[in-house]
Structure 1
Amino acid sequence: MSKPIFSIPDLTTFARLDTLDLTCIGQHITAHKAVLKCRPNTADDRCRRCGGHGDIRDTVLRRLAHEPFGHRPTTLHIRLHRYKCIECGHVWRQDPTNAAPIRATISRAGVNWALCARVIDQDTVSVIADKLAVSRHTANSAVRD
């Protein structure tokens, strides 16, 4: 390619967050870890009970281990809006299940990375846990499931 066309650097694509329906809005990268601040791409402002419109009440932070960024363990800090229905008063938060199942501590991309590391690279669960910066039990459960 004699004259490549360059685009603006985009961590959302580079860290494969677009496959999780997330957008990277900030980063904190040190020599030992990387933290990516993210937000969901889809709004979830319709009440699950009555279908009415919800107003943003506040935000909550969900932390997920993600596939390593280089050799650094990477954590996703996902800002989720919490809504309150105008009509019935029901409170809910944005649905991040594209990024990870409910109550999971590792993102879907992190679980895929861990499976590849275990099957293809023959890494032990302890090594995978260290690279993801999670406990051995958490890594073992994610790989086994």
Structure 2
Amino acid sequence: MKTYFKLFSLLVFVLVLVSGCKKDDDPGETEAERQQRLVSKTWATGSVSYTEESTPLAGFDDFSITFNSTGTFSTSGGQAGVSYLPSSGSWSIDSNDLTALTLTDNGNTVEVDIVTLSETAFVFNVAGPGVKATDPDRTVRYDLVSQ
């Protein structure tokens, strides 16, 4: 009887060891899944601010951006087409870095860092100007919600 108990204990130990080492089947989000979440929606302003401040920047109340499945985008409303963010053009997500969004308009390329992208929220950072012309560039944070 002790032999069966030892064999049973050894079998249970091996099963626990093997199942604990099983590779995770979920490789994470793919580029296509991330793109699908971004497109065919209009993202409207929740708030726009400098990353180091919580006070919203003025003039962005009705800003929105729409990404199309054809690889184009357009902005509208307040502050659309500011110097650091094109008003329309093409977009792509880097397949090697799913947090890197590239916006291109007439040969000008802007790199956007995706902070959050869910079904209802899109938060990104982009290098923007300082408050005055003499200020150094600062990072602008867009907190957008799906419409």
TM-score clears 0.5: no
Normalising to structure 2: TM-score of the pair?
Answer: 0.21
For the pair shown, the structure with the greater C-alpha radius of gyration is: 2
- Structure with greater strand share of residues: 2
Normalising to structure 1: TM-score of the pair?
Answer: 0.21
- Structure with greater helix share of residues: 1
